[in-house]
Amino acid sequence: MVLNILKGYKMTFKTAFKDVEVTRTFPEFMMELPANERGIHELDATVCIGCGSCARICPNNCIEMVPFKYGNPLKNKKMVFPSIDFGRCMFCGLCVDECPVSCLKMGKNVVMAGWLRDDLILGPDKISVKRHTPQEVAALEEEARRLAAEKKKAAAAKAKAGDKKPAGAKKKKEEAGGES
Amino acid sequence: MPSASDILSALQSAFPGSIQESRVESDSRLWVTVDQKKLLEIAKFLRDKQGFDHYSGSAGVDRMADNLMEVVEIMASYANHNIVVMIKVKTPRDAPSVPSLVPLFWNANWYERESWEMFGINFEGHPELYPLLLGDDLVGAWPWRKDFKGYPDTTTGKRTVERVDASGLTSYRIGLTDEQVDSGQIPQRIEYPTFREREEAHIESESEMILHLGPQHAIVPGPFLLDVLVDGERIKKAFLDVGYIHKGIEKIMENRTYLQGIVYTDRMCYLASISNNEAYCGAVERLLGVTPPERAQYIRVIAAELSRIQSHLLGTGEFLTLLGSATYSPFQYMIIDREDVISLLESITGARITHTFVRFGGVRNDLPDGFAEQARKVMKMVREKTMEYKDLIAADPIYRKRMDGIGVISPQDARDLGLCGPPLRASDTPYDMRREDPILAYPDLDFKVISRKEGDSAARVDVRLDEILESVYIIEQCLDQIPEGPVQEKLPKKIKPEPGEAYYRTEDPRGEMGFYVVSDGSDKPYRVKVRGPFYATFQTFTPLLEGVYLADVVAIAGSMDACTSEVDR
């Protein structure tokens, strides 16, 4: 009986002198996180197209699309980017899976303590890891304007060339409406 | 061994005209819609003549468009065959009433109580139709009907009355106004004795008293109330009250898209989040008619088995500490081992407990680089450590005195009570979903279904420790056999299954986890029913604790490895 009880202590002694890492003194020592870790989001603002599919899939409605200056106006016409409320986020990663251009990722940073509730709402300026400089944005905007003007011109030209057809269709419709 | 179509023809010849609809989904799945007057006879016929001795649960469905309520009874067999028969009964929506199956299957009790309080379906002949999960305020609101508008209740004739009491606080009551009572249009509020009155009705003499264990108590894994009526040291009767953390996950999932539903399955029981994911995704996959690629199946098996190891380690460790194993504290050691297993899971899924990893037709991502070596190292460690724990437990005299021969459940009792998972297998019934339903890569893998003959508390812990070893063996096979290839089947961006229904079950660390999903063709499930494993085990506490010593309550209740979160959902 006593021997059997002592047998239990064998384990205690075996582990007492072994180097077992159990408690880490966070934040001085951070544990090693795997490459797949789902931490705070990282946004590539140069790629984001502002489609808002991340905001739609979010089960907790914690993503809001907000305006942000340093994106690519060629791709992101409205210049809106995700802003994430980490007070509600449960790090499920559905937004990352849903992103059609893979601009949203989840990184290894998991520290997000703050003093205020608003500190937990991280906008695109906080979560974007890649963004355009103001000069690049200006150049891209210029490009966007030029393209828009070209498109307008082309559309106008097209409208002139195909003037008869749509007008004819419209007339027919009007006639039909009048008859009925 | 019979197949599903044999059962159908037997039913049709025994009850001509009573089988209204039928569908043979596969060799092991049969769906029949029967006349509700014949339900009891059909269930009796299936139990006695066709070997369906396992009543697995029931679900209510509110078919508002057809003005009908449906009750789906799920029946299977422990040892005779692997067919699951889903018996549907239809009843008019304005006065829903179906015969109760409690006279045939004792464990139908809770499932029917839940259907009653959620849908208002009356079960004729049910012995105690009292609310189970809901608070008394919500009874009569029938919250899972499709026309429920939220709390305070506005469905049953806008009966909610807002009142300001003396202290200035607002309270809501579902009361009746005098005119409503006079006109007789609205039914009276349902009268039933409260939990306390039901308890106290059992006190017979001065020497008896009621002892409360919970809702907050050191031995309980989550909030639930276990009241025991004691006469001296003996327990005369036990009473269970659950629903303290009822989250209404089934209703939430009806209001989310199919993909968003996955995250809620995680949160039902964080120790078993992978197998909950698996059960839900499997059911939706059946609706969509897709099968995941082979590599994804292996990854799912690896993740599920890792999740089983960590759940058993935590459950056993916690329980041994509660028992007061004086000479060593296994909880600390087991949680150190579990740490490595969790890290392994984290390296696959990216999260430590709420994984959200399984997807329809595959998994979220592939295994990381160098996973196989790391996994082999951890598995070797887990195997060595588990052997060591088995040695320690075998030698510990305190443990043996408290566990051997305590809470013995005979195989017949275990089946009649509807236990599942390790407690059932400890009572000499090798019933495991991995064997019963050929899901994922399990048919290609070699593994034993662990079972014990004794049926006592010690056997239940032994089964868990042996299952850890078996899971290690399964994972090692998977690492050897896993093929290369894609991990995700191509699916449309918007998941919209055809109208239909599916039932899919997996082996949770705690037993049989089943998901019954009904689709109406939209992007949201019409109804999700969770057939939780611990729900089934939990209701057996009441009969099991009768007549035992008070000090053995911990040994018996703890050896079941409880998870209240999943019971309440």
* Inter-residue contact B101 to B55 (CB < 8 Å): yes
Please tell me whether residues A109 and A36 are part of one structural domain: yes
CA distance linking residue B339 with residue B326, whole number of Å? 23
Tell me, yes or no, whether A1 lies in a domain. Answer: no
Digitized pLDDT (tens) for each residue of chain B, 569 residues in all = 788 888 888 888 888 888 888 888 888 888 999 888 888 888 888 888 888 888 988 999 988 888 888 999 999 988 888 888 999 999 988 888 888 888 888 888 899 988 988 888 888 888 888 888 887 767 777 888 888 766 554 444 455 566 677 777 776 665 555 666 566 555 556 778 888 888 888 888 888 888 888 787 766 677 888 888 988 888 988 888 888 888 888 888 888 888 888 999 888 888 888 989 999 999 999 888 888 999 999 999 999 999 999 999 888 888 887 776 555 677 778 888 888 899 899 999 888 888 888 988 888 888 888 888 989 999 998 998 888 888 888 877 778 888 888 888 888 888 888 888 899 998 888 888 888 888 888 888 888 888 888 888 889 888 999 999 999 999 999 999 888 888 888 888 888 888 888 999 898 888 888 999 999 888 889 999 998 888 888 888 888 888 888 888 888 888 888 888 888 88
Between chains, do B395 and A4 touch, taking CB under 8 Å as contact? yes
In a mutagenesis test of the A interface, which of B262, B331, B346, B488 is the best target, namely the one with the most A β-carbons within 10 Å?
B346
Tell me, yes or no, whether A108 lies in a domain. Answer: yes
Between chains, do B327 and A5 touch, taking CB under 8 Å as contact? yes
Q: How many domains does chain A have?
A: 2
A91 touches chain B (CB under 8 A): yes
Task: Report the residue from A8, A36, A91 with minimal CB separation from B327.
Answer: A8
Which letter does DSSP use for residue B552 in this model? Answer: G
How many Cβ atoms from other residues are within 10 Å of residue A17's Cβ? 7
Tell me, yes or no, whether A14 lies in a domain. Answer: no
CB pairs under 8 A between A and B: 81
Q: Hey, what amino acid is at B49?
A: K
* Inter-residue contact B214 to B226 (CB < 8 Å): yes
CA distance linking residue B494 with residue B288, whole number of Å? 12
Between chains, do A4 and B343 touch, taking CB under 8 Å as contact? no
Domains, chain B, ranges and CATH? 4-138 (3.30.460.80), 249-568 (1.10.645.10)
B239 φ/ψ angles, rounded to the nearest 5 degrees = -130, 135
Please tell me whether residues A110 and A147 are part of one structural domain: no
Tell me, yes or no, whether A70 lies in a domain. Answer: yes
Task: Report the residue from B260, B333, B339 with minimal CB separation from A11.
Answer: B333
CA distance linking residue B95 with residue B112, whole number of Å? 16
Question: To which H or E segment does residue B377 belong?
Answer: helix B371-395
A113 touches chain B (CB under 8 A): no
Please tell me whether residues A57 and A123 are part of one structural domain: yes
- Both tokens assigned to B199: 């308890």
B529 φ/ψ angles, rounded to the nearest 5 degrees = -120, 130
Provide the percentage of residues in chain B whose pLDDT is more than 90.
Answer: 11
Asked if this assembly's ipTM is beyond 0.85, the reply is: no
pLDDT of residue B309: 92
Please tell me whether residues A117 and A146 are part of one structural domain: no
Please tell me whether residues A151 and A125 are part of one structural domain: no
Task: Report the residue from B259, B350, B397 with minimal CB separation from A36.
Answer: B350
Tell me, yes or no, whether A175 lies in a domain. Answer: yes
CATH number of the domain residue A93 falls in: 3.30.70.3270
| A99: chain B residues, CB-CB within 8 Å | none
Q: Cα distance from B304 to chain A (closest Cα, Å)?
A: 18
Q: Which of A108, A132, A156 is the last residue of a domain?
A: A132
Please tell me whether residues A68 and A102 are part of one structural domain: yes
Please tell me whether residues A108 and A150 are part of one structural domain: no
In a mutagenesis test of the B interface, which of A9, A89, A94 is the best target, namely the one with the most B β-carbons within 10 Å?
A94
Between chains, do B328 and A11 touch, taking CB under 8 Å as contact? yes
A161 touches chain B (CB under 8 A): no
- Both tokens assigned to B35: 């006349």
Q: What is the pLDDT of residues B368-384, one digit of tens each?
A: 888 889 899 999 989 98
A97 touches chain B (CB under 8 A): yes
Q: Which domain holds residue A139?
A: 135-179
Between chains, do B347 and A93 touch, taking CB under 8 Å as contact? no
Please tell me whether residues A60 and A94 are part of one structural domain: yes
Please tell me whether residues A139 and A121 are part of one structural domain: no
| B259: chain A residues, CB-CB within 8 Å | 57, 94
| B348: chain A residues, CB-CB within 8 Å | 36
Please tell me whether residues A122 and A147 are part of one structural domain: no
- pTM of the model as a whole: 0.85
Between chains, do A36 and B395 touch, taking CB under 8 Å as contact? no
A35 touches chain B (CB under 8 A): yes
Q: Hey, what amino acid is at A37?
A: E
Tell me, yes or no, whether A78 lies in a domain. Answer: yes
| B262: chain A residues, CB-CB within 8 Å | 92, 94
Please tell me whether residues A128 and A149 are part of one structural domain: no
Tell me, yes or no, whether A148 lies in a domain. Answer: yes
The stretches of B482-559 forming alpha helices (DSSP H) are: 533-538, 541-544, 553-558
Residue in B closest to A99 by C-alpha: B493
| B336: chain A residues, CB-CB within 8 Å | 20, 22
CA distance linking residue B262 with residue B252, whole number of Å? 11
Q: Cα distance from A92 to chain B (closest Cα, Å)?
A: 6
Q: What is the residue-wise DSSP string for B400-465?
A: HHHHTTSS---HHHHHHHT--SHHHHTTT----HHHHS--TTGGGS-------SS-SHHHHHHHHH
Q: Cα distance from B415 to chain A (closest Cα, Å)?
A: 36
Tell me, yes or no, whether A104 lies in a domain. Answer: yes
Surface-to-core class of residue A24, CB atoms within 10 Å of its CB (0-12 exposed, 13-18 middle, 19+ buried): exposed
Please tell me whether residues A139 and A128 are part of one structural domain: no
